[in-house]
Amino acid sequence: MARLYADQGYLRKAARVYRYLLQETPDRMDLRKELAAVEEEIRMQSHPSRKELGLLIRDWATLMRKQRQTKRNG
């Protein structure tokens, strides 16, 4: 199931399944390798983390306020 999720692009779901399987059978090195590969793919994605997204939104809001003030003063 984890491989199917990964093949379809549901990397976070695949990682959850691999983690569950590793809890049940912690000595399975093949599952560890698959999990590592999926986690690396997740890291390589261009999507920002929640923290990064929060910072981007904060910066955007600051820029919007400055732009509004400039229009009022100009």
Q: What digits encode the pLDDT tens for the residues 9-37?
A: 888 899 999 999 999 999 999 999 999 99
Number of domains making up the chain? 1
Q: Which residue has the tokens 């981007």?
A: 56
pLDDT of 53 strictly over 90: no
Q: Which two tokens stand for residue 48?
A: 């920002």
The boundaries of the domain holding residue 23 are 2-73
Q: What is the mean pLDDT of residues 68-74?
A: 86
- Rounded to whole angstroms, the Cα distance separating 16 from 1 reads 11
Stated pTM of the model:
0.62
Measured from the Cβ of residue 19, the count of other Cβ atoms closer than 10 Å reads 14
